[in-house]
Amino acid sequence: MPAETAVLPDELQQRNRELTILNTIAQALNGTLVLEDALQTTLAHVTDLFGLETGWIWLLREDTGKNYLAAAQNLPPGLANHPERMTGSCYCLSTYREGDLQGAANVNVVQCSRLEWLHEGTNGLAFHASVPLNAHGKKLGLLNLASRDWRELSAENLRMLYTVGDLLGIAVERVRLFQQSAALGAMRERNRLAREIHDTLAQGLAAVALHLESAETLLELDAGPERVRQAVSKALSLTRTNLEEARRSVLDLRAAPLEGSTFSEALRALIDGLDAKVVYEVVGEERPLPSRIETGLYRIAQEAINNVRQHALAANVTIQLIYEPEKIALVVDDDGVGFDPEHLPAERFGLRGLTERVHLLGGALDVQSCPGSGARLHVSLPLTPK
């Protein structure tokens, strides 16, 4: 009896700690519709729960089924400094796709094939637990928690990992359903704008045409300059009104270039217009981006490529799109005429506009150039608000 009494408080304390962490994870997942926030919060708490430092999450893309690194915490240098090593498939992903990871009873603890052949930069990590993320029988991805010497998991740990996997899988599916709902709402809004353009611009332009036709008829009848002037004046007034309406509609549709294509495809379309030899490289696994980041980075890339086209006179251009767990980077490097970033002509607004956009997105912009030595632009944007 005394021995049981001594153990029980420790067990209760451990169980209370586990339930507290699970409750924290559940609250965090229920409190956000930003997928990146949900994944990073879960990683932070679940690594704390098991006394670990490192973990990462793979998700499967809905459109292609390919896996991408959606979040990571404290990757060892051998992986963190080489994003390309965290691309493609691996043993645990292949096993998951083949259906061997069905639930908690089959959570695998395996030697990480991405670290197995590294001679340095592993921080001593070798093993990781692979936790399946599913929702309603649908495969969503894997949660990996890394350790130096993990062995067989206890039944309690299996239950905890199963619960965490369930919570995270449900959260991922909920966020994706919300994004689909938002996309459907955007499509409906575009349809509304199309109807509005038809009801305003089209009818307004028809009225302009009518007044101009009246002026033409009055001229043919030699009706006098005053009557002709009145008809032209009405047409001019209607034209100005329709111009304002057109500007408003264009602003509402300003993100249209990204519709129906991935960000990488949209960026490639921008590059196709360059009169130079272009090397385009995507580093890391391409992944869905938050809409504000996708739209903002597209505009930044558009401005940077326009600057190369109009001013650089470059023969060679290298463009890199670098996907990392917590940020995305764009690098544009050219061998053109270069410039002095500190002394730009007054009419050159491009770099100022880039700086403002990057600042609004909470990112960092680094521009290196000097006359005669080309230019290098490096933009890094966080995927979650700071």
Is 236 in the same domain as 346? no
| Number of separate domains in the chain | 3
Q: What's the CA gap between 271 and 279, in Å, rounded?
A: 10
For the whole model, what pTM was predicted? 0.63
Task: Tell whether 94 and 242 lie within a shared domain.
Answer: no
pLDDT in tens, the chain (386 residues): 444 444 467 777 777 877 887 888 888 787 777 888 888 888 988 888 888 889 999 999 988 889 999 999 999 999 988 888 898 888 888 888 887 665 544 567 778 888 887 777 888 888 888 888 888 888 899 999 888 877 666 777 778 888 888 888 888 888 888 877 777 766 766 666 666 566 566 667 777 888 888 888 888 888 888 888 888 888 888 788 777 766 655 554 554 556 667 788 888 888 887 888 999 999 988 888 887 888 889 888 988 888 888 788 899 999 999 998 889 999 999 999 988 887 765 545 567 778 888 988 899 999 999 898 899 999 999 987 66
Q: Domain boundary residue among 150, 181, 212? A: 181
Q: Which range marks the domain in which residue 28 is found? A: 2-181
Whether residues 225 and 362 fall in one domain: no
Say if residue 108 is in the same domain as residue 242.
no
Q: Which residues pair with 133 in a beta bridge?
A: 141
Residues 52 and 175 in one domain: yes
Please check whether residues 302 and 363 belong to one and the same domain: yes
Do 86 and 173 share a domain, yes or no? yes
- Give the pair of three-digit tokens for residue 250: 């264009």
Same domain? 266 vs 249: no
Rounded to 10°, the helix 291-307/263-271 angle is 10
Q: Give whole-number Cα distances, 373 to 201, 320, 340, 367, 376, in Å.
A: 49, 19, 10, 13, 10
Do 49 and 157 lie in a common domain?
Answer: yes
Q: Are residues 124 and 191 in the same domain?
A: no
CATH number of the domain enclosing 159:
3.30.450.40
Give yes or no: residues 8 and 122 share one domain: yes
If asked whether residues 127 and 192 sit together in one domain, one would say no
Residues 43 and 74: their CA atoms lie apart, in Å, by: 10
